Amino acid sequence: MPQPLLYSAFVMDTASHILHGLWRQPDGGQVDFNSLELWTDLVKTLERGRFDVIFFADVHGVYGAPGESITRHVKAGLQIPSNDPAVILSALASHTEHLGLAITSSIVQDHPFSFARKMSTLDHASRGRIAWNIVTNGLSNGARNFGFESLTPHDERYAWAEEYMEVVYKLWEGSWDEGALLQDRVRGIHGDPTKVHRIDHVGRHYRVEGPHLVSPSPQRTPLLFQAGSSPAGMDFAARHGEAVFLMAPAPAFAAQAVAAIRERLAANGRRSDAIKFFQGLSFVIGSTEDEVARRDRALDEAIDYEAMITHLGGIMGIDLDVDALDRPIDSLTTEGARSLLDWVRAAVTDRVPTVRDIGLLASRSSRVSGTPEGIADQLTAWQAAGVDGINVINAVIPGSYVDFIEHLMPVLRRRGLAAQDYRPGSLRRKIFGHDRLADGHPGAAWRGAFGTAPGTVGA
């Protein structure tokens, strides 16, 4: 029997996330994204279906090249409006017991001191079920929203992220020693001052004195997700990631990405199994092949391809003219998500790929269509390529997940491709078998780092 795959629900607190235009469908419940009940009902459904994680994507700007009109974005609801998922996470924690809760946050949008405090608070509130998707910001509008004149060059963003990670690791792992929170009513000592420390970080981007204001949460450091697939992104993932999201167009491409990151794991002194790989896939499920074909056609007809191309052009920082769909992409360069262009060029091998191919590839390359048994066969192929989990992209909420749980999950469990029940404990324990960062992780190096330093609070 194979090892069970992990399952994450890929969502965003907006009406149009990945497969654009589906909010227009009668069952497109994501149009009610402003309603807290949409999300509390969804997490309860996901937990009943034994999903492992709900993962919230997020942005802090509008997609597009500098000066590009936002008309198409607003008309299509292309991730605008969108709400801050961190605000609702504690509510979702209170409606679930086991489901992991992951949010995306960029190094641009939140200072590491306030971010570390927020995540520790959420990890306490959820009893250790919080995860963070680390992003470096590929949106030029996002950079300008936080006072920068332009988007920081691609590889420099990862250098900046290295310092950001150092600060949060110092706060999460080093500022409080084990046993510092005493809460001794008899002696009247709430905390041991010799075990709580300033971090006195001074770097290129940040000066943070500390100490961390939150006592150690069940995981200390939240489970760390990452999605970088450029060389710099893969280097960063191999140093810091515990789970990596892939959007490979086929299992063979996933195998290449997994192998490239695993090689980098060894170079960083980490175990080859230190990262779980999640492939993003959407699903069309039918009881017969004829039903699958009908549903496939209906989905193709419902997708807003102009919005798809606008979105993907925005990710790359390029104004992809939807009126020039046959424009070749061979000369395009970008400081945004370079890996997306690489995927398109790799997938279209019989000719020079065009702007149209970007939209078509995005809508179909991650789609798995078939009967439950047929889909299970396809997921077995993804697993053989090195994939440990599936990041389930929705067409409609909650219907895409209800269909997955009711029609596909029973077959996956019977085939050993889905777990029968949850493991106890924190999210990291459920996935890796332990609550805290593994010893070979760079964040673990900050444990006890300030215990004898002059910057100790109690000194």
- Condensed to tens digits (0 to 9), the pLDDT of residues 233-271 reads 999 999 999 999 998 889 999 999 999 999 999 999 999
Residue with tokens 């795959």: 5
Whether pLDDT at 357 is above 50:
yes
**Average pLDDT rounded to a whole number, residues 349-355:** 76
Q: What is the pLDDT of residue 456?
A: 39
Q: Is 431 left (phi over 0), alpha (psi -120 to 50) or beta?
A: alpha
Q: Which of 173, 175, 212, 219 lies closest to 195, judged by CA? A: 175
Q: Domain ranges in the chain?
A: 6-305+367-446
Contact 444/438 with Cβ under 8 angstroms? yes
Mean pLDDT score, 70-86: 93
Is the pLDDT at 154 greater than 90? The verdict is: no
Q: Does 67 or 87 have the greater pLDDT score?
A: 87
350 pLDDT above the threshold of 70: yes
Task: Quickly state the pLDDT bin for 343 (edges 50, 70, 90).
Answer: low
| C-alpha–C-alpha distance, residues 142 and 4, integer Å | 38
Q: What is the pLDDT of residues 35-51, one digit of tens each?
A: 999 999 999 999 999 99
Average pLDDT of the residues of the chain? 90
CB atoms within 10 A of CB 356: 17
Q: Examine the pLDDT at 30 and tell me if it is beyond 50.
A: yes
pLDDT value at 459 more than 80: no
pLDDT at 176: 98
Question: 6-305+367-446 falls under which CATH superfamily?
Answer: Luciferase-like domain (3.20.20.30)
Mean pLDDT on 371-380: 98
| Angle, alpha carbons 163-169-175 (nearest 5°) | 125
* 360, pLDDT greater than 80: no
Residue 377 has pLDDT above 60, yes or no: yes
Residue 458 has a pLDDT of: 35
Q: Is the pLDDT of residue 375 over 60?
A: yes
How far apart are alpha carbons 436 and 176 in whole angstroms? Answer: 14
Per residue, the 3-state secondary structure of the chain, as one string, reads CCCCEEEEEEEECECECCCCCHHHCCCCHHHHCCCHHHHHHHHHHHHHCCCCEEEEECCCCCCCCCCCCCHHHHHHCECCCECCHHHHHHHHHHCCCCCEEEEEEECCCCCHHHHHHHHHHHHHHCCCCEEEEEECCCCHHHHHHCCCCCCCCHHHHHHHHHHHHHHHHHHHHHCECCCCEEEECCCCEEECHHHEECCCEECCCCEECCCCCCCCCCCCCCEEEECCCCHHHHHHHHHHCCEEEECCCCHHHHHHHHHHHHHHHHHCCCCCCCCEEEEEEEEEECCCHHHHHHHHHHHHHHCCHHHHHHHHHHHHCCCCCCCCCCCECCCCCCCCCHHHHHHHHHHCCCCCCEHHHHHHHHHHCCEEEECHHHHHHHHHHHHHCCCCEEEEECCCCCHHHHHHHHHHHHHHHHCCCECCCCCCCCHHHHHHCCCCCCCCCHHHHHCCCCCCCCCECCC
% of residues, the chain, pLDDT over 90: 73
Q: Which two tokens stand for residue 157?
A: 């963003």
**Percent of the chain residues topping a pLDDT of 70:** 90
Of the two residues 273 and 312, the one the predictor is more confident about is: 273
State the pLDDT confidence band at 336, using cuts at 50, 70 and 90. Answer: very low
Record the pTM: 0.91
431 closest CA partner among 107, 2, 1, 3: 3
